Amino acid sequence: MTHIVAISPHLDDAAFSVGGLLAAHARAGGRVTIVTCFTGNVAQPTGFALACQFDKGLGPEVDYMALRRAEDVAACAVIGTQAVHLPLLEAPHRGYASAPELFAARRDDDAMLAPLTAALAEQVAALAPDLLLGPLAIGDHVDHWLVRDALTSISDAVLLWEDWPYLTRARSRPSDAPAIEHVLSPQDRAARIGMCAAYRSQLSFQFGSVAAMEAANDLVVTERLYAAPATPSYRPEVHDQRRAEHEDQQR
């Protein structure tokens, strides 16, 4: 039985980006595990971390990450896959203090790469995937870049997905030929929408509404994955250049 392990930065990224591929594999009798990296929480979030929770309409009394972990378990149940939650802290708990900072260069005091790489190496050794998947970091979220860099340092066989819905706002797609181009069947799309719908706390923020999420999914024809480039991925100057181009394009 072929085992696909998808390494998701946050609770929703793997389903949003390759939910159809994972659903098809599970439906064909394959094994799927979704490992989500940044699912830890602090007891009493403050500042931007708390604001991220208010953004989703949730008060300070709500255990935001516990809620999101439960949503992920529900999403995985849609296709009968296993969820693994690593208790690492996401960027708003590591000193990133605003939404623009989440998409800017990595902070000098961000020491997450080493523990993340160690945790993922342990997971990959234990889960022994036949196919290892992770994010390309389209959209430039700092947490997505960390996962990409950790994975590409662990494995030269990892395949990287186009981050969705960031992809819909991206200026261009990768110019390489994809290693996998999975055309969504109606069943895949239904499963993908079912998984996306499980992340209820994220839907209005990401899409506006459940109907808008479904409409956005209807426009997705294929899920594409790429071989990791041989060159080191994260370089601040490249990141800043891409960022400038992105901002230019938004003007």
Q: Which residues bind Zn ion (CB under 5 A)?
A: 9-10, 13
Q: Where is 197: in which H helix or E strand?
A: helix 186-198
Nearer Cβ to Zn ion (13/188) = 13
Min separation Cβ 12 and Zn ion, Å: 7
Beta carbon nearer to Zn ion, 156 or 217: 217
**Residue whose C-beta lies closest to Zn ion:** 10
CA-wise closest residue to 31 among 155, 127, 124: 127
Q: Which is nearer to Zn ion, 10 or 192 (CB)?
A: 10
Q: In this complex, which beta carbon is closest to Zn ion, that of residue 9 or of residue 165?
A: 9
With b meaning 16 or more CB within 10 Å and e meaning fewer, what string describes 200-233?
Answer: bbbbeebbeeeeebeebbeebeebbbbbbeeeeb
Q: Whole-number minimum distance, CB 230 to Zn ion, in Å?
A: 25
C-alpha dihedral over 151, 155, 161, 167, to 10 degrees?
50
How does DSSP classify residue 87? B
- For 148, phi then psi, to 5°, come to -60, -50
CB of 13 to Zn ion, least distance (A): 4
Q: How far is the CB of 186 from Zn ion (least distance, A)?
A: 27
